[in-house]
Structure 1
């Protein structure tokens, strides 16, 4: 299956970053996953629009879609943090603007009792 270069690079970077936080044993049970994508504020934004973007009042509606980010994150973290993508049973993803573009990932194992 074809994987575009940008997508491959994103996954490779995530895998490297995640390997620094690798658990001693891969997570095996159900997982809650939160992904926050912070995209760069556009240079064309006015001061007012820039302030609204930083405050979270203006959100990116440009590509890539949020589900494409999730696919990349799940692919990159498989066999680094958890065993299989199917373990993600709770998912929240959002896109924001920021002066410091980044992707924040929070992984919480879900206790089964």
Structure 2
């Protein structure tokens, strides 16, 4: 198995690429409070209605896209996956300040998980929108996807993409 790890000098991002006979796995770790896909906004100009993403969602998608530059910069032969892939998104949110010490410890042990908004699928939508056409050719290539929400003292988003064919 080959492991390639890229980290920037501030350790604000990490990209891991692993390859073996089953395929390739790419993991992106985006530090900071995760941002879900926001509801589209609408405006009308000249009788035409236009839908657009909220600025916060656009900025976060651009941040996720920026992480993929490490993959392309350090693996010039990398091409977006054109085979079956699976994607797993782990969302680590800040522990609420209102939690007692006991609740905080339970949250850190994953005994208490976030059951409040935003929904997990909104985090997943933002990641899928950001990486479509960059790490895979089309959303139709995704055969398995999951999203898990946790509490953490270090909020972040962890995205793992696995190809299901022999790495080339």
Structure 1: any 5+ residue segments left out of the alignment? none
Q: Report the equivalent of 1:2.
A: 52
Q: Distance in 1 between matches of 2:69 and 2:142?
A: 19
Greater radius of gyration (CA): 2
Q: Report the equivalent of 1:17.
A: 67
Question: 1:34-75 CA distances to partner (integer Å, 9 max, x unpaired)?
Answer: 100000111111100100000000011122111111111011
CA RMSD in angstroms comes to 1.4
Structure 2: any 5+ residue segments left out of the alignment? 1-50
TM-score, structure 2 as length reference: 0.63
Q: Distance in 2 between matches of 1:4 and 1:48?
A: 37
Structure scoring higher RCO (CA < 8 A, sep ≥ 6) equals: 1
Counting matched residue pairs gives: 112
47-56 vs 75-84, which moves further: 75-84
- Give the conservation status (yes or no) of the 8 Å contact 1:19–1:80: no
Q: Distance in 1 between matches of 2:68 and 2:96?
A: 28
Q: How does 1:22-41 map to 2 (within 5 A)?
A: 22=72, 24-41=78-95
TM-score, structure 1 as length reference: 0.91
Q: Which runs of 4+ in 1 moved over 6 A?
A: none
Q: How does 1:78-89 map to 2 (within 5 A)?
A: 78-89=132-143
Q: Whose strand proportion is higher, 1 or 2?
A: 2
